[in-house]
């Protein structure tokens, strides 16, 4: 019903504008009649920047012990996949651990690594990477 009444108002305004233009009030009168029925355009909201954080539950762990990561996201939808990555041979490689963003914009996931020494991990979600976190794995 609302769309029909808008159509009727706009049509009437156009007809009135044409009548004004024909009677000598010119184009300005036609534009004024039509302008009275148009709605202002709402300003678009800026997009929220996507961010993801990571925190390890321990800085040092024995080989093959569970290390838990948790963090918060901003601008990333619920149920979006969070992929753990490890820095290997000067590049980030997907680690076999994933989870999903919760309704509260958080996540938690755990990993096990047998690679001794300092392991750098990060998470990636919605093409957004966290800062790396280091975990030292001992024998």
Predicted local distance difference test score (pLDDT) of residue 47: 79
Percentage, residues of the chain above pLDDT 70: 68
Q: What is the mean pLDDT of the chain?
A: 83
Q: What is the mean pLDDT of residues 8-25?
A: 56
The CA distance from 49 to 70, in Å, is 20
Q: How confident is the model at residue 45 (pLDDT cuts 50, 70, 90)?
A: low
30 pLDDT exceeds 50? no
11 pLDDT exceeds 80? no
Predicted local distance difference test score (pLDDT) of residue 48: 84
Largest CA distance in the chain: 95
Non-local (6+) Cβ contacts of 8 within 8 A are none
Non-local (6+) Cβ contacts of 102 within 8 A are 78
Global model pTM greater than 0.85: no
Least confident of 9-23, 26-40, 81-95: 26-40
- DSSP string computed for 45-102: PPPPPPEE--EES-SEEETT-EEEEEEEEES--TT-EEEEEEEETTEEEEEEEEEE--
**Bridge pairing between strands 133-138 and 117-125:** antiparallel
Residue predicted with more confidence, 17 or 75: 75
Give residue-wise pLDDT tens across range 74-106.
Answer: 999 999 999 999 999 999 999 999 999 999 999
């Amino acid at each position: 019903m609302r769309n029909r009444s808008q159509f009727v108002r706009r049509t009437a305004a156009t007809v009135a504008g044409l009548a004004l233009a024909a009677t000598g009030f010119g184009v300005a009168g036609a534009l004024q009649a039509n302008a009275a029925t148009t709605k202002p355009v709402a300003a678009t909201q800026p997009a929220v920047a996507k961010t993801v954080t990571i925190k390890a539950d321990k800085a040092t762990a024995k080989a093959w012990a569970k290390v838990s990561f948790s963090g918060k996201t901003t601008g990333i939808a619920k149920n979006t996949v969070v992929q753990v990555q490890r820095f290997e041979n000067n590049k980030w490689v997907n680690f076999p651990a994933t989870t999903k963003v919760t309704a509260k914009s958080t996540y938690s996931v755990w990993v096990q690594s047998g690679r001794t020494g300092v392991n750098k991990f990060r998470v990636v979600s919605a093409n957004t990477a966290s800062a790396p976190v280091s975990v030292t794995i001992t024998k």
